[in-house]
Amino acid sequence: MMPEGKHRNGQKASTPRIIGIIIFRILAVGAWLFALLFIIAGFQVNLLGVIFGVIVAAVLAFVGLVLWVIGDMVKDPGKIRAERLAAQAAKDPGIVIDTDNEHERQRASNGRWDGRANPGHAQPNDETSPALAGVEVEDGEALASAHRETGQSSTLARTISPSPIIIPPKTLSVSATRETETVSGSYPATIYVYDPRPILKLKEGRAEKISVVTRPITLKSRLNGRQWRSGVDDGYAVEYKGKPFGVLFNHIAVIHIRAILESGAKNVELVAMRQGWYQTGVPEIYVMVPTLEEAKESETGNASLKEYEQRQAYGADVVAATAIFRVSENNWNGPRIPDEGFIAFEATVEQLPVPEGSQAKPHFALKSGGVLLSEITARSTAAYFASEPLVGKRLKILVSRYYTSLTIEAYEI
């Protein structure tokens, strides 16, 4: 099998690349022709014209040279890259040139985890050879060479490390109680009726439950023929006994309903009341929705309930944490923590040895499954003193985001 680098060099240029080469060549030749014309025109005027013509010709000649070089780069970018690497190797003999696996070796040496560079930790790859799974390799270049010798794909040339032990949350029946939420408040908001037929039998002044329509629908007004479409127009459509009839446009109520649905509720109900007629054959319908203050208070309560359910899913709802501390996001080498909620890990804290002759305090390593999640130094005073009693203990840690820091709650297992 032909090596990858040689195979690339032997490939013919694609049609777009050929067109690009021709365009840059034409532009370069055109610039040089203009330069020649300026010199000739300058000699036909006077000495000042000659000087001006020479200056303009020099500029155009330089532009033509640049365009010609760009054409070379379009023709064979690999050759330009190889020449640049050769120049670097001439300056530094320690540089080893391997154009076939330069990109793979760079990714292997840098390491990636969830899109952020973390030396020594690579993103798990389902395509990795089973024989290499769980093996930590520090020399990405040696691994790349081994793969070339065995004929394996160069995409395997990356650092492979253990994965942190993530504790999955338990499935709770508590979430089922929040399947339906009822919106209530002190402000009467108008429902704009598009199809009055489903609500003609509503009794005057009697409170009835109506539901928010979450499926895609289109309503057409029986008064003026205008259409309302979910996902395109503002507001939420509402229905009575499964039959859509109108739209709620109240801005505060719409935002509040959206927050309820995003928090996990499957159905949202409103308390509606009929009060007279908008016009003949079209009832006037109002629903009670929250004011801005009432909506904020309700959403805060829902957020607290959601956090409690998450803690309950990890068994941390009634047990006090052994230690709580924060680390900066730059000092976190594990998976990315979501903006909301927790990720739980099985972890340990180890005391790292102090270099001989050093008077510095020892560092503490927070690890999970052999992966260094965070290294805590004495500069982080609160985190340092909170970590010291955890050394040697088997822990369950809950990690959540707090602005640009991460909050770590440690529980003894």
Please state, in angstroms and as integers, the Cα–Cα distance from residue 239 to each residue in 128, 142, 207, 214, 256, following that order.
52, 66, 15, 10, 18
Mean pLDDT of the chain: 76
- Do 48 and 141 belong to one domain? no
Taking the C-alpha atoms of residue 374 and residue 351, their distance in angstroms, rounded to an integer, is 12
Q: Say if pTM beats, i.e. exceeds, 0.85.
A: no
Within this chain, do residues 187 and 296 fall inside the same structural domain, yes or no?
yes
**By three-state DSSP, how is residue 237 classified?**
strand
Q: Are strands 267-279 and 180-183 parallel, antiparallel or unpaired?
A: parallel
Answer yes or no: is 184 within a domain.
yes
Query: Looking at the predicted structure, is the pLDDT value of residue 102 above 50?
Result: no
Write out the DSSP string of 154-173.
GGG-S-------EEPPPP-G
List C-alpha distances in Å: 9 to 1, 86, 88, 186.
15, 17, 21, 74
The pLDDT, as a whole number, for residue 293 is 83
Residue 290 and residue 189 share a domain: yes
* End residue of a domain, out of 161, 192, 222: 161
Instruction: Output the six-digit token pair for 81.
Output: 């890259």
- Is position 106 within any domain? no
d(CA 372, CA 118): 10
**What is the reported pLDDT for 81?**
63
Domain count of the chain? Answer: 4
Return the pLDDT at 227. Answer: 94
Using CA atoms, how far residue 125 sits from 134, 144, 262, 322, in Å, is 11, 16, 32, 35
- Whether residues 148 and 190 share a domain: the answer is no
Q: Examine residue 96 and state whether it is found in any structural domain, yes or no.
A: no
Examine the domain organization and report whether 301 and 319 are in the same domain. Answer: no
Question: Domain boundary at 79, 104, 124, which?
Answer: 79
* Whether 272 and 209 share a structural domain: yes
Task: Dump the DSSP string for 319-339.
Answer: SPPSEEEEEEGGG--SSPPPS
pLDDT tens column, 174-211 = 444 468 888 888 899 999 999 999 999 888 888 899 99
- 290, 401: one domain: no
- The verdict on 288 and 344 lying in the same domain is no
Is residue 338 located within the same domain as residue 225? no
Of the ranges 61-75, 81-95, 213-227, 298-312, which is most confident? 213-227
Domain extent at residue 140: 112-161
Question: In this structure, are 207 and 294 located in the same domain?
Answer: yes
Assess whether 188 and 295 both reside in one domain. yes
Closest CA to 365 of 377, 357, 356, 375: 375
Answer whether residue 381 is part of any domain.
Answer: yes
Contact 110, 123 (CB under 8 A): no
Residues 60 and 210: their CA atoms lie apart, in Å, by: 75
Burial of 231 (0-12, 13-18, 19+ CB in 10 A): exposed
Within a domain: residue 166?
no
- Which residue did the predictor score with more confidence, 89 or 50? 50
Q: For residue 85, tell me if it sits in a domain.
A: no
238 pLDDT band, cuts 50/70/90, is very high
- Tens of pLDDT, residue by residue over 245-261, are 999 999 888 988 988 88
Higher local confidence (pLDDT), 340 or 350: 350
In-domain check, residue 97: no
340 & 217 share domain:
no
Contacts of 407 (CB under 8 A, 6+ apart): 324, 325, 326, 399, 400, 401
Q: Examine the fold and report which residue of 279, 307, 335 is the final residue of a domain before the chain moves on.
A: 307
Residue 375 confidence (pLDDT) = 95
Does pLDDT of 68 surpass 80?
no
Confidence band of 341 (pLDDT split at 50, 70, 90): confident
| CB 15 within 8 Å of CB 52 | no
Q: How far is CA 183 from CA 198, 252, 343, in A?
A: 21, 12, 31
